Structure formats: structure tokens, C-alpha cells
């Protein structure tokens, strides 16, 4: 294609200049990058709130989160109330920011946007302007959410009624309205991806050849489109309850608080899979490339992804085992919940078998993919404790749930996102990051993460309830251990993202396909041109034939080499 | 089995040992699977690493028999886990007809326990050992959750209907440091959620009978009773006695002071105002404060209300 004025090759980064061209762009790659920048800012804000939470938990009394010059003049009781109030605000902000602004848009809006059209061999998504609108709506929603943050709400990210109605009404109205708007962004992205996958595939790219990341985006998009409207309606009802007292959720005016939980979890359980399925898709791409072997059990991974999405819509009641549902509903939801475990286990076995007798490259993306498998097994097996009714009666709303959730979302979705960023970074910027620093960052992150959350499983066993600003003294040691390791967790992220950010400018140039992968995005330039491909590629074979590719190379070069 | 990670609290109910057995079984199987699969993964990653194993020596991309095995076995394990959990939980949800019923009211931020003969307590729930106890629970404001780790039970309290849980204590709480088993609120309920704790005192039947017959409150003067209620009903959480503003206005100098409200005419805080505010605080909110306090209508008798008013009157400026 063309070149810039100073003779550089044109790509999506430099073909138009100026901030305005970014804001008005309909290029899925630019939108993906802008989403990435936005969600990472929120990730660090949410992370700061997490560190505030863990600082407060360093001592059993609520005494740390007190700000301002007059802190010394407060009576002990005032100090206690002030610290507790700030703690409650901190965990609410942590939850709201991490869920609604970071991990729900998460992988689909960032890597999904960037890669989906490339991976199906299209010039862009099906509706590029809708894609831009989706980003604008996300920006608007984030702005309103930030306004709500300054109202200092303390409901937790779940907005349970009637607490969210009886107290701090104004902030809750703003925050739920923001979440309502952000939901539209999610729906628009989902619709766009579904149509793109159905209609925009390159010639020859049949469903049975579709890359597994694309399949995972397909399953995710279905959930976004099906489940998000429910939370939209729920949050509107909550706003109406707050303003007009319509009596749907508030028992004081004849409402049913558990109805809110039903509606909320009907969305918020599937949303966990909106977070985790794309991460599984990323791992399914990385493992065959770095094992130089075809993915094991392509068909069963596809069915597992779609199966997880289907079952995800039927198990929301396990968030409410002790909330006052009928006993029969508890039994049924417990039974159904166990069937999420089966497709998840199948995927793990497939990944391991892909590595069997491969030729495994210990590059950064592979380290993340392997740690994902380990962390996700812990997340998955501790889910069994929570799905089992008799043990859940003990574990419900304790630190066991906190640890399980963080293994799923941080150990799963976030590690998956970081794995994907390290895998596709050369495609996004045409440069390679500093691998030794990336591996060091991975190590610190891995140790910090496990050190933070393993002790929380034990706290949960011992009976420590969640969302507690102060706690009985016997829990002190484990809380302190958790807080200390959280510093490493934070340091790990700073190093990992700092390394990637610096490498955008200082990284070594690398060729279009440094990992020798076969999926279509690697056939485009690095960074890709504005409309991805000069000529739309034809697909004759599936993308996981790494065994054939190696045979060809052996005849040419007499052995595979690989940059580490 | 191996009990790799057994950190469960003391077992004090009839099903606690079965819950723990199940918990340890699931933990052991999970640990073994996670460690074994991780070991295999690491073995492959090292054994077949690119430097040593420059080209893949297998082309297998599926194996139907293997895939059937690893679908069927987890399914069986899952159905088994469901069954053992269901089996014990069904018992947890089926209180026997002869259970001793005790009423529990949750409010921000404390508990009110009402025994069969009308006796009440707040800081400690007292129950007889070896007999089934059924708690009939309701919230007077937001959601709460009644959690007794030593009994392995938990159930939310709602404002719109009663919920219940039951258990049979097997040991007295003398064996627990502090003499009581901890009770926590496990559903987030506002500023002092983490302070919403109480103790479960398990005693012999004879001590239990003495406890519910004992009407110690009768001998207390109104001022003493008021001071006791100030602690027990958790007024202390939000209303200071030293003039400092906490969640609610201080009691110091409250009686006789002029009150301004978010709505309506200002008024002097006399006995009638104090009574209305205790029973239904949401009617008039003092300027600068939020509508947080639960209504105590039906939870305090006239004698107790009078005692609280006497106590507040005694907090002179």
C-alpha cells in the first residue's frame, strides 16, 4: 500500500494523524487500542482501591483509612466509624470499577475488537460505525460512573436492595445509570461480533475451521446480547424504586428484595463467562503455537465453549443458596451448577494433551498460558465446594468466595488478557517487548497473586465473613500475609504493563509473524494496514496444522529454530 | 481422607463432622487433581521443551476414547458431590417438629433474640445443648445473614418474610475461648456491618431454664436498664455520649435541645419526640444526618422505652 510523507510504510497507527482522527475512527484496531488504554486506566484505579482495602485489613480494628488533618482530633468511636465507612466505599469502588469498567469490556472490547476481523479475514467488523458508537457510549458511561464515584457510594458492586434504596440514593442512581449505559456498549459489541462472524468470514473459512478465539468470542457475544438487557431492566427498576418508590424491591413498600437478587444474578452470573470464555479462547490459541502441535480436540473445545455459555444462563441461583429461595430451587440450582464443571475440565485436558510430545517454547505468552491452566484449576475446583449445598452453607459470603472469585477473574480472565497482550503485542505494534523483563514480571505476578489469595481460602474455611472492615483477632496473621503479597501482586502488574508500554516506543522491530503462527492475523502486516489485508486471504486448510508446517521447515532448513 | 487443608472451625453441631468430611473429601480430590495435572503439564513443558525436542513427535489432534473418559469421570464425580451435599443440606432444611423455637430479629447493627416465654437478649443467644433449636428470623431493615461457623449454618434475614434455620448443638460453648461461639452477620448491611457480631452460648438444659426464667431487668432502676439497653440494642454504635457526631446525633445534651429536620418544623427534643424517634426514626430526620436507623416498633416494651428516655435525659450537656 502507500507510504507516509517521510517514506514509512502506512499502517493503522500512522495512516491518519491527530487525536481527532482517533476519536472519529471507525477502524476496529484503533478502537481496540483505545478500549485497551481506557480499561487499563480503570484497572489501576481499581487496583489502588484494592490496596486500600488490604491496608485496612492489616490490623483487626478499623483504623487505617482515615484521611485529613483532623484525624487526631476524632474520638475512637468517630475514628472507627470513619474508617469503616471509607473501607466500605473502597471495596464498592474496587468492585464497581473492576467489574463494569475493566473486566466486562475486558478482552472482547480490546483484543476481540483488534483481532476478530483479522482472524476471520475481514477488512473490519460488520458495522464499523456501530463499533465507534459502542466506544463513545462506553466513554459516556465511564464518565457518569466516575461522577458517581465521587458521591462515595458504599453498596458493594451488587447494589442489593433494600440497602441500595434506603441509603445513599443519589450515588446509587448515578452508578446504576452508568452501568445501564455501559450495558449498551456491551450489547452493541456483541451484536457486531455475531454478525461479523456469521457474514464476514473469508472465502473458504468454514465454521469447522474457525479459530478457537473466534469461537470463544462467538459464545461470549451470545451471552452479551442475551443477558445484558436483563441487568439493564433491573437497574432501571432500581432507579425507579429509588426515585418513585414503586415497591418492586423494597419490603418497606411491599417489594421483594430477593427478586432483585434473581434479576441481578441472571445477568451477573453469565457475565463471569463473558469474562472467562475469551481468556480460554486466548489460551487455546497460544498453547498449540508454542507447542508446535495441532490443538487437541478442536471440536470438543468448541462444544465446551458453547456449552458453558448455555449452562451459564441456568445457574444464577447458586449465588442465592442462603438468600431465602425455596428449598427445591436450591436443590435444582445446585444440581445444574455442577454441569459447568464438566466442559471446563474437558478444556483443561485438551490443553494438556496439546502439549504432549510437542516442541514447547518457553516464551512469555506460553508461561502465562500454563499459569492460566494452573490457576484456573484452583478456581474451578474451589467452585465445587461452593456448588455443594452443605459446604456452601458454611462458605457463602466468606473469604472462600472472595478467593474463588479472584482466582477465576484475576487468575483466569486477567491472566488470559495479559497472555493475549504478550502474544499479539508484536502484531499490534510491529515490535517485540523485552522478554526477560516480561518473564520477571510474570514471576512476581504469579507469586504475588497466589500469596495474596491462597491465605484467603483458609480465612474462609475458618469462617471470616467478607466485606468486614474489622475482624476478630484470630484472623490477623492470614490477613497480614495476604496484604504483604498483594504488594508483590501490584508490583508485578506495574512491571508487566510498564514493560509493554515502554516497548511500544523502544521495542525491537520484528517481522509480521514472530511466533510462526498460522491464524490469519499473522498473514497481515505488523502493524496491520488500515483495512487489514491488501487482498482478502483464501482459506484452504484449518489453522492448527503445526505438525505439517514443521515438516516443511525441516526439509527446508533442517530443523526448527525459534526466537526466545 | 488426607485432610490436606482442614482449617474448619470447632465442630459443634450434629452435622458438622459430615460437612467437614465432605469438605475435606472435595478439597483432597481437588488438590490431588490440580497437583497431578500441573505436574503432568510441567513434565511435558520440560521433557518436550523446544531446545531438547526440536520437533513434535505426535500428530494426535483427538482421541475419542480418551475424550469420553474425561467427560464421563468428571460428570460422575460432580453428580456424587451434588448428592452428598444435597443429602446433608436436606437435613439442614428440615427442622424437627419438637425443636425449640427462638425468634431472631436483625437490625442495623445488632440482633434481638426472643425466647419462647417472651424473654429477650441481644449480645448472646443462649440455647440448650443436645436439643434441636429452630431460629425463626426476620430483618427490620436491610438484608442481614445469620452465620454460626461452629454449627456450619447460615441463612439470610429478609424484611418481607420469615426465614429459618435449625441445628442441634452437640457440645457446650465452655470449650470455646471466650465461652461463646461467634455469630457473624454475613450479608453486607452498611457502615457497621463488621461490628454486627454476637455470641452463641450453649449451656445445659437446667442452665437454659434458669436463663429464660431469670428476669433480672425487673430489679434495675430505669437509668440502669436504659444504660443496659443502650449497649445491648446497639444504640452505642451510632449515638455517642461524649458529644461527638458519629453515624447519628450524640445523646449528650439531646434532651431539651432544639432539633431541626430535613422536612417540617423544628421541635424541642422532649419525651414524646424521643419516644417517636426510637420507635420510628425515619419519620423525622435531623438535618445533617441520613435515614439510617431501623424502627424499633414492636421490639421494645413500654418499660424499656421509658428506661431509654430516662437514660438519654441523664446525658446532660
Q: Is residue A11 part of a domain?
A: no
> To 10 degrees, the CA torsion angle through A203, A207, A213, A215?
140
Mean pLDDT of A358-364: 93
- Residue A4 clears pLDDT 90, i.e. is over it: no
Note whether B290 contacts A168, CB cutoff 8 Å: yes
Q: Do B48 and A355 touch (CB under 8 A)?
A: yes
Could you tell me the domains of chain B? 16-92 (no CATH), 100-213 (2.60.40.420), 220-313 (1.10.760.10)
Distance from C-alpha of A114 to C-alpha of A132, rounded to nearest angstrom: 13
**SS3 at position A360:** strand
Q: Region A238-267: what's the mean pLDDT?
A: 90
Please tell me the predicted confidence (pLDDT) of residue A5.
65
Rg (CA), chain B: 28
d(CA B87, CA B15): 11
Tell me the chain A residues in contact with residue B184 when contact means C-beta distances shorter than 8 Å.
Answer: 463, 465
CA quadruple B282, B283, B289, B290: dihedral, nearest 10: 30
- What are φ and ψ of residue B201, in 5° steps? -105, 115
With CA atoms as reference, report the closest residue to B239 among B188, B179, B181, B292. B292
Query: For residue A2, is it within any domain?
Result: no
pLDDT for the residue numbered B299: 80
Q: Find which of A87, A251, A549, A562 to mutate to test the B interface (most B CBs within 10 Å of its CB).
A: A251
**pLDDT at residue A372, rounded to an integer:** 96
Contact present, A547 and B56 (Cβ < 8 Å): yes
Among B42, B61, B145, select the one facing A296 at the smallest CB separation: B61
Could you report the average pLDDT of every consecutive run of 10 residues in chain B (317 residues)?
Answer: 84 95 94 95 92 81 87 92 94 94 93 89 93 94 95 94 95 89 95 94 94 73 86 86 87 87 85 87 83 82 86 86
Contact B119, B212 (CB under 8 A): yes
Q: What are phi and psi of A428, to 5 degrees?
A: -70, -35
Q: Do B60 and A322 touch (CB under 8 A)?
A: no
How far apart are the C-alpha atoms of B62 and B68, rounded to whole Å? 11
DSSP state letter for A532: B
Q: Would you call A467 and B292 a contact, using CB atoms and an 8 Å cutoff?
A: no
**Residue tagged 443462649 (cell numbers):** B126
What is the C-alpha radius of gyration for chain A, rounded to an integer number of angstroms?
Answer: 24
How confident is the model over A310-327, as a mean pLDDT? 92
pLDDT tens for each residue of A363-385: 999 999 999 999 999 999 999 99
State the pLDDT at residue A473: 93
Cβ pair B74:A298 closer than 8 A: no
Q: What average pLDDT score do residues A202-223 get?
A: 94
- Contact between A415 and A369 under an 8 Å Cβ cutoff? The reply is no
pLDDT at A29 over 60: yes
Residue A545 DSSP label: -
A60 has a pLDDT exceeding 80: yes
Q: What is the spatial distance between Cα B138 and Cα B130, in angstroms, rounded to a whole number?
A: 25
pLDDT (tens digit per residue) in A124-183 = 999 999 999 999 999 999 999 999 887 888 889 999 988 888 776 688 889 999 999 999
Cβ-defined contact of B59 to A154 (cutoff 8 Å): no
CA closest to A156 among chain B residues: B188
Distance from CA of B154 to the nearest CA of A (A): 5
Q: Is residue A47 part of a domain?
A: yes
> Are the CB atoms for A320 and A158 separated by under 8 Å?
no
Q: Whole-angstrom Cα distance, residue A250 to residue B142?
A: 9
Tell me the C-alpha distance between A466 and A478, whole Å.
14
Report the CATH number that the domain containing residue A452 is assigned in CATH.
Answer: 1.20.210.10
A1: pLDDT strictly greater than 70: no
Supply the pLDDT for residue A555: 47
Choose among B45, B66, B74: nearest Cβ to A355.
Answer: B45
pLDDT band, very low/low/confident/very high, at A560 (cuts 50, 70, 90): very low
Task: Give the distance from CA A564 to its chain's centroid.
Answer: 27
Query: What residues of B are in contact with residue A329 (Cβ under 8 Å)?
Result: none
Q: Give A231 or A546, the one with higher predicted confidence.
A: A231
> How many other C-beta atoms can be found within 10 angstroms of the C-beta atom of residue B296?
22
CA neighbours within 13 Å on the CB side: how many for B140? 24
Task: Give burial (CB, 10 Å; 0-12/13-18/19+) of A540.
Answer: exposed
Q: Exposure of B218 by Cβ count < 10 A (0-12 exposed, 13-18 middle, 19+ buried)?
A: exposed
Per residue in A280-300, pLDDT tens?
A: 999 999 999 999 999 999 999
Residue numbers of the domain that contains A73: 19-557
pLDDT at A549 over 70: no
pLDDT of A553 over the 70 cut: no
**With pLDDT > 70 as the criterion, what percentage of chain A qualifies?**
95
Tally A–B CB contacts below 8 A: 310
Residue A102 and residue A51 in contact, taking contact as beta carbons nearer than 8 Å: no
Q: Is residue A166 part of a domain?
A: yes
Peptide bond between residue B268 and the one before it cis (omega within 30 degrees of 0): no
Distance CA B9, CA A462 (A): 5
Provide the pLDDT for residue B220: 78
Nearest of B31, B281, B93 to residue A384 by alpha carbon: B31
Cell of B315: 446525658
Contact B85 A81 (CB under 8 A): no
User: What pLDDT is stored for residue B120 in this prediction?
Assistant: 86
Q: Which residues of chain B does A373 touch, with a Cβ-Cβ cutoff of 8 Å?
A: 37-38, 41
Query: Which among B8, B78, B242 is the nearest to A342, CB-wise?
Result: B78
Partner residue opposite B9 with nearest CB, options A258, A390, A463: A463
> Which DSSP string corresponds to chain B?
---TT-------BTTHHHHHHHHHHHHHHHHHHHHHHHHHHHHHHHHTBTTT--S-S------HHHHHHHHHHHHHHHHHHHHHHHHHHHHHT---TTPEEEEEEEETTEEEEE-TTS-EESSEEEEETTS-EEEEEEESSS-EEEEEGGGTEEEEE-SSS-EEEEE-B-S-GGGSTTSSEEEEE-S--STTGGG-EEEEEEE-HHHHHHHHH--GGGGS-HHHHHHHHHHHTTGGGT--SSS--SSS--STT-TT-EE-BSSS--EE--HHHHHHHHH-GGGSPBTT--S-PPP-TTTS-HHHHHHHHHHHHT---
Quote the pLDDT of residue A78. Answer: 85
The partner residues of A398 in beta bridges, in order of sequence, read A465
Asked whether B134 and B99 are in contact (CB, 8 A), the reply is yes
**Does the residue A184 lie in any domain?**
yes
Model confidence at A559: pLDDT above 60: no
What is the helix (H) or strand (E) element at residue A431, kind and residue range? Answer: strand A431-432
A378-407 CB burial, b ≥16 within 10 A, e <16: bbbbbbbbbbbbbbbbbbbbbbbbbbbbbb
Report the pLDDT value the prediction gives residue A561, as an integer from 0 to 100. 43
Interface test with B, best of A53, A70, A74, A81 (most B CBs within 10 A): A81
Q: Return d(Cα A231, Cα A157) in angstroms, integer.
A: 13
In the numeric block, which cell numbers belong to residue A35? Answer: 478500549
A448 has a pLDDT exceeding 80:
yes
Mean pLDDT across the stretch A305-309?
91
The residue among B70, B260, B34 whose CA lies nearest residue A301 is: B70
Instruction: Give ipTM to 2 decimals.
Output: 0.90
pLDDT at A63: 86
Residue A228 resides in a domain: yes
> Under an 8 A CB cutoff, do A256 and B81 touch?
no
Give yes or no for a contact between A129 and A73, defined as CB atoms under 8 angstroms apart: no
Mutation target to probe the A interface, by most A beta carbons within 10 A, among B66, B84, B143 is B143
Residue A520: inside a domain: yes
CB contacts of B21 in chain A (<8 Å) are none
Q: Examine residue A12 and state whether it is found in any structural domain, yes or no.
A: no
Burial (0-12, 13-18, 19+ Cβ within 10 Å), A26: middle
Predicted pLDDT at A558? 40
Which three cell numbers mark B48?
Answer: 518436550
DSSP-derived letter for residue A108 is I
CA atoms within 13 A on the CB side of A321: 30
Region of poorest pLDDT, from A119-128, A486-495, B286-295: B286-295
Q: In B, which residues are within 8 Å of A172 by CB distance?
A: none
Total number of domains in chain A: 1
State residue B160's pLDDT score.
87
Helix (H) or strand (E) segment spanning residue A9: none
pLDDT surpassing 80 at residue A205: yes
What is the structure's pLDDT at A556?
A: 45
- The three-class DSSP label of residue A432 is strand
Distance (Å) of CA B253 to CA A76, B33, B227, B244, B309: 20, 65, 16, 11, 13
Q: How far is B17 from chain A (nearest CA, A)?
A: 11
First to last CA, chain B: 65
**Interface contact B67-A346, CB threshold 8 A:** yes
- Residue A550: predicted pLDDT: 54
- Measured in angstroms, the CA of B248 and the nearest CA of chain A are apart by 11
Give the mean model confidence (pLDDT) for residues A42-46: 95
Amino acid at each position: 500500500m502507500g507510504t507516509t510523507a517521510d517514506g514509512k510504510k502506512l499502517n493503522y497507527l500512522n495512516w491518519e494523524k491527530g487525536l481527532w482522527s482517533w476519536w472519529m475512527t471507525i477502524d476496529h484496531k484503533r478502537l481496540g487500542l483505545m478500549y485497551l488504554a481506557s480499561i487499563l486506566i480503570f484497572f489501576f484505579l481499581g487496583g489502588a482501591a484494592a490496596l486500600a482495602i488490604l491496608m485496612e485489613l492489616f490490623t483487626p480494628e478499623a483504623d487505617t483509612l482515615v484521611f485529613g488533618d483532623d484525624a487526631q482530633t476524632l474520638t475512637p468511636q468517630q475514628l472507627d466509624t470513619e474508617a469503616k465507612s471509607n473501607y466500605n466505599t473502597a471495596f464498592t469502588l474496587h468492585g464497581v470499577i473492576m467489574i463494569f469498567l475493566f473486566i466486562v469490556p475486558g478482552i472482547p472490547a480490546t483484543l476481540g475488537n483488534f483481532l476478530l476481523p483479522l482472524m476471520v479475514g475481514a477488512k473490519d467488523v460488520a458495522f464499523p460505525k456501530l463499533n465507534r458508537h459502542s466506544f463513545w457510549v462506553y466513554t459516556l458511561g465511564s464518565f457518569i460512573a466516575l461522577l458517581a464515584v465521587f458521591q462515595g457510594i458504599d453498596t458493594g458492586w451488587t447494589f442489593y436492595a433494600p440497602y441500595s434504596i434506603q441509603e445513599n440514593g443519589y450515588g446509587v442512581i448515578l452508578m446504576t445509570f452508568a452501568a445501564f449505559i455501559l450495558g449498551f456498549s456491551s450489547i452493541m459489541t456483541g451484536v457486531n461480533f455475531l454478525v461479523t462472524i456469521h457474514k464476514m468470514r473469508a472465502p473458504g473459512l468454514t465454521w469447522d475451521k474457525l479459530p478457537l478465539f473466534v469461537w470463544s468470542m462467538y459464545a461470549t457475544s451470545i451471552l452479551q446480547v442475551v443477558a445484558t438487557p436483563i441487568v439493564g431492566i433491573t437497574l432501571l427498576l432500581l432507579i425507579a424504586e429509588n426515585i418513585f418508590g414503586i415497591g418492586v424491591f423494597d419490603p418497606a413498600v411491599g417489594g421483594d428484595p430477593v427478586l432483585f437478587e434473581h434479576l441481578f444474578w441472571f445477568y451477573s452470573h453469565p457475565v463471569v463467562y463473558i469474562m472467562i470464555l475469551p481468556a480460554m479462547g486466548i489460551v487455546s490459541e497460544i498453547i498449540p503455537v508454542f507447542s508446535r502441535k495441532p490443538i487437541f480436540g478442536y471440536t470438543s473445545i468448541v462444544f465446551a465453549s458453547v456449552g458453558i455459555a448455555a449452562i451459564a444462563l441456568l445457574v444464577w441461583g447458586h449465588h442465592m443458596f442462603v438468600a431465602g429461595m425455596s428449598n427445591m430451587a436450591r436443590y435444582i440450582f445446585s444440581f445444574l451448577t455442577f454441569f459447568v464443571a464438566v466442559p471446563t475440565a474437558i478444556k483443561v485436558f485438551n490443553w494438556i494433551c496439546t502439549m504432549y510430545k510437542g516442541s514447547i517454547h518457553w516464551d512469555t505468552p506460553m508461561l502465562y498460558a500454563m499459569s492460566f491452566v494452573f490457576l484456573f484449576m484452583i478456581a474451578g475446583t474451589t467452585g465445587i465446594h461452593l456448588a455443594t449445598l452443605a459446604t456452601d452453607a458454611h462458605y457463602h459470603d466468606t473469604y472462600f468466595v472472595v478467593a474463588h472469585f479472584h482466582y477465576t477473574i484475576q487468575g483466569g480472565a486477567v491472566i488470559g488478557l495479559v497472555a493475549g497482550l504478550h502474544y499479539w503485542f508484536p502484531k499490534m505494534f510491529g515490535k517485540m517487548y523485552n522478554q526477560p523483563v516480561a518473564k520477571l514480571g510474570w514471576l512476581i505476578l504469579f507469586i504475588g497473586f497466589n500469596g495474596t489469595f491462597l491465605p484467603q481460602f483458609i480465612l474462609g474455611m475458618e469462617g471470616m465473613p467478607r466485606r468486614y472492615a474489622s475482624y476478630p483477632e484470630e484472623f490477623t496473621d492470614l490477613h497480614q500475609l495476604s496484604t504483604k503479597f498483594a504488594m508483590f501482586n501490584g508490583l508485578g502488574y506495574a512491571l508487566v504493563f510498564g514493560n509493554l508500554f515502554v516497548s511500544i516506543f523502544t521495542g525491537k522491530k520484528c517481522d509480521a509473524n514472530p511466533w510462526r503462527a498460522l491464524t490469519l492475523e499473522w498473514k497481515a502486516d505488523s502493524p496491520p494496514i488500515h483495512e487489514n489485508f491488501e487482498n482478502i486471504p483464501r482459506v484452504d486448510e484449518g489453522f492448527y496444522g503445526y505438525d505439517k508446517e514443521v515438516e516443511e521447515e525441516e526439509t527446508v532448513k533442517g530443523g526448527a529454530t525459534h526466537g526466545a | 481422607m488426607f485432610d490436606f487443608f482442614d482449617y474448619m472451625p470447632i465442630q459443634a453441631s450434629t452435622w458438622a463432622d459430615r460437612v467437614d468430611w465432605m469438605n475435606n473429601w472435595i478439597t483432597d480430590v481437588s488438590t490431588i487433581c490440580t497437583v497431578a495435572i500441573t505436574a503432568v503439564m510441567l513434565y511435558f513443558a520440560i521433557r518436550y521443551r523446544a531446545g531438547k525436542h526440536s520437533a513434535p513427535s505426535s500428530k494426535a489432534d483427538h482421541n475419542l476414547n480418551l475424550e469420553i473418559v474425561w467427560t464421563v469421570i468428571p460428570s460422575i464425580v460432580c453428580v456424587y458431590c451434588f448428592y452428598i451435599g444435597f443429602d446433608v443440606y436436606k437435613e439442614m432444611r428440615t427442622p424437627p417438629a419438637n425443636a425449640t423455637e427462638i425468634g431472631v430479629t436483625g437490625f442495623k447493627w445488632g440482633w434481638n433474640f426472643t425466647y419462647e416465654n417472651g424473654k429477650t437478649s441481644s449480645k448472646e443467644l443462649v440455647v440448650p445443648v443436645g436439643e434441636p433449636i429452630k431460629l425463626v428470623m426476620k430483618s427490620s431493615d436491610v438484608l442481614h445473614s445469620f452465620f454460626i461457623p461452629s454449627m456450619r449454618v447460615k441463612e439470610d434475614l429478609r424484611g418481607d418474610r420469615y426465614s429459618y434455620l435449625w441445628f442441634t448443638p452437640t457440645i457446650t460453648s465452655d470449650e470455646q475461648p471466650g465461652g461463646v461461639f461467634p455469630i457473624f452477620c454475613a450479608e453486607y448491611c452498611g457502615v457497621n456491618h463488621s461490628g454486627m457480631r454476637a455470641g452463641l452460648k450453649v449451656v445445659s438444659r437446667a442452665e437454659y431454664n434458669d436463663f429464660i426464667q431469670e428476669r433480672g431487668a425487673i430489679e434495675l432502676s430505669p437509668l440502669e436498664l436504659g444504660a443496659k439497653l443502650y449497649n445491648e440494642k446497639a444504640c452505642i454504635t451510632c449515638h455517642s455520649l461524649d458529644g461527638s457526631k458519629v453515624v447519628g446525633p450524640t445523646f449528650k445534651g439531646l434532651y431539651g435541645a432544639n432539633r431541626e429536620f430535613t422536612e417540617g418544623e423544628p421541635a424541642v427534643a422532649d419525651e414524646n419526640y424521643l419516644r417517636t424517634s426510637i420507635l420510628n426514626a425515619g419519620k423525622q430526620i435531623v438535618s445533617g444526618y441520613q435515614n439510617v436507623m431501623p424502627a424499633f416498633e414492636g421490639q421494645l416494651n413500654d418499660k424499656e422505652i421509658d428506661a431509654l428516655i430516662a437514660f438519654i435525659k441523664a446525658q446532660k450537656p
